[in-house]
Amino acid sequence: MASSHPLLIVGNWKMNPESLTSARQLFIDIRGAIAKKKLAPTVAIAPPTPFLTEIGKLSPSKRISLVAQTVSVNQSGAHTGESSVSMLKSVGVASVIIGHSERRASGVTDEMVVAKTIAVLKAGMTAIVCVGEKERDTHGHYFTTVETQLQAVLKGLSKASLSRLVVAYEPIWAIGTGNTATAEDAHEMKLFIQKIIATVCGRANVKKVRILYGGSVTDKNAAQLLVDGEVDGFLIGGSSLKATTFANIVTIAHAHTTHGT
């Protein structure tokens, strides 16, 4: 079941590149590489926090939408080093990645993911919530991991906010390793995630939520993940740091939408 939204292609730059000058150049290269096309997918970039304002200025029309890689669970006050939902919103951020496995590894809990998601959605922004198992076992315990992560989030949400919820299935074993999940595995997990949404939020709400895949996506595997995986887009790390590769993936997503290929 496809979502009712356009495909969403998100580049997560993580802690790259090393300077504002290089970040501006990378963004300009990506912008240039996708400039000619009237794009069917929504394209979004998540630069490091210090670069958000300047990178946002490079797409004043919001053709490339601005994403934050994380947000504080707190609203204001004595939280050294953190950025609040309203701060991010005030510099033009439209969406926030929440619960990326690299954040979870440094202490972000399921409870914090729930609180952040509620705060981001309440502010009228889009929440890109990452779920995914560390490893695959033969007993299917990885389904339980995803179910636990997702159920916690879904329980706290209003039905009205579900169209701004994006779930990114990112198996940790696939992130930055070159071991992409097969299209069949991605599809199976998408169906499983939709089953959880149907159970918690009701069948009528399933199509409101976009389900992305992330983990070693390249321009070589993107088409198959869209065709056979039937995912609603990608969360892309390494390949988003190469303007040509990232633009190729956008082109593939565009062709998939317009020609079904």
Give catalytic residues, as residue numbers. 100, 170
The smaller minimum CB distance to ligand PGA, of residues 194 and 221, is found at 221
215 binds ligand PGA (CB under 6 A): yes
12 binds ligand PGA (CB under 6 A): yes
Note whether 45 and 34 are within 8 A (CB): no
Binding mask 150-189 for ligand PGA (x = CB under 6 A): --------------------x----xx-------------
Q: How many residues bind ligand PGA (CB under 6 A)?
A: 13
The verdict on 235 binding ligand PGA (CB under 6 A) reads yes
Residue whose CB is less far from ligand PGA, 201 or 236:
236
Cα distances (Å, whole numbers) of residue 228 to 9, 100, 190 = 17, 25, 11
Indicate the DSSP class of residue 156.
T
Q: Which is nearer to ligand PGA, 16 or 74 (CB)?
A: 16
Q: Which residues pair with 45 in a beta bridge?
A: 11, 66
Query: Per residue, what are the HEC states of 20-55?
Result: HHHHHHHHHHHHHHCCCCCCCCEEEEECCHHHHHHH
245 binds ligand PGA (CB under 6 A): no
Residue 115 — left, alpha, or beta (φ > 0 → left; ψ -120 to 50 → alpha)? alpha
Interaction between residue 129 and ligand PGA (CB under 6 A): no
| Nearer of residues 170 and 185 to ligand PGA, judged by Cβ | 170
CB under 8 Å to 144, separation ≥6 — which residues? none
User: Where does this chain bind ligand PGA (CB under 6 A)?
Assistant: 12, 170, 175-176, 214-217, 235-239
